[in-house]
Amino acid sequence: MSELELTRLVECVPNVSEGRRPEVVEEIVAAFAVPGVLVLDRSSDPDHHRTVITLMGPGPALVEGAVAGAEACARLIDLNQHRGVHPRMGALDVLPFVPFGAETRLRGGDDLDLDCADLAERAGRRIAGEAGIPVYLYGAAAHHPGWAALPAVRGRGFEALRADPPEPDFGGPGLHPTAGATAAGAREVLIAYNVELAGADLDLARRIASAVRERDGGLPAVRAMGVPLANRKLVQVSMNLLDWRATPPAAAVAAVAGLAERAGARVEASEIVGLVPAGAMEGVDPADLRLRDFTPDVFLESRLLQVLTTVKENR
């Protein structure tokens, strides 16, 4: 991949409602990996029953991969049999396109292959037409004035939407009977960051989540929820850091730790789901965050370089 092509790279981060069957995850990831698409990472969690996949490539290739991935999700996942602690509306639940290369942008410009909002629309239209899954546009791609924020689109999830679905942007009017609906959108870089608590119950985790999320007067650009982790016998404050410059992981874990300690609990560990920009961890000792299984491979830029090097060596 030439230097010129690197400036045109777009990131795509499909969130898939499967985190317990590795063979199914493998088949879905392979479906997304059409020619031109680089698979940088996959991160599965059995309690959330969810897998986050990090892809990179030219916009048109990512659209092709999104359609193939959506078809695989519809074939392999039945939401009627799916139970996890993470909210979900679809087998391919969320499909965000994220600017990465120097020439890419969230929305606008003369070259639509570099326009993340337009890529989300193109993928959404084709997913509805070819996979039969209705698509709601969110973030910078939203057409509906109330759907800029993902939670507003997803609502209370598959079961509630199935009973009374709002009209989607593409497809429908009803949800796919087993694959639900997909939220396709354009957004800036987001860090999925979870903090596990020892000596705490679910009520405390939920109270801490309420205290730290922006909507309830907490940290800027933070969404949070408290969830149980049955497999680990712990509870978790699960966060999306929508702007890591406003609230980096170090600030988020410090806030959660302070609130937990006041209630007689403590931080057991924290984790980054997927990849993170290196700048978000600048000047931070990972040990201070109690990050589980931390390696420099978690940095988006490092992982991209590794994958590109492997591709070049295998040519």
Active site residue 176: no
The DSSP-derived string for 67-133 is HHHHHHHHHH--GGG---SS--SBSEEEEEEEE-STT-BSS-SS-GGGBHHHHHHHHHHHIIIII--
Residues 6 or more apart in contact with residue 94 via CB below 8 angstroms: 13, 14, 15, 150, 182, 183, 184, 185
89 in Cβ contact with 40 (< 8 Å): no
**CA 41 – CA 307 distance, rounded (Å):** 10
228 in Cβ contact with 85 (< 8 Å): yes
For the chain, the farthest-separated pair of C-alpha atoms sits apart, in whole angstroms, at: 56
Catalytic residue (choose from 86, 143, 144, 176)? 86
Q: Bridge-partner residues for 105, per DSSP? A: 115
Distances (CA, A) of 216 to 153, 170, 208, 212: 19, 33, 11, 8
Residues with a known catalytic role: 86
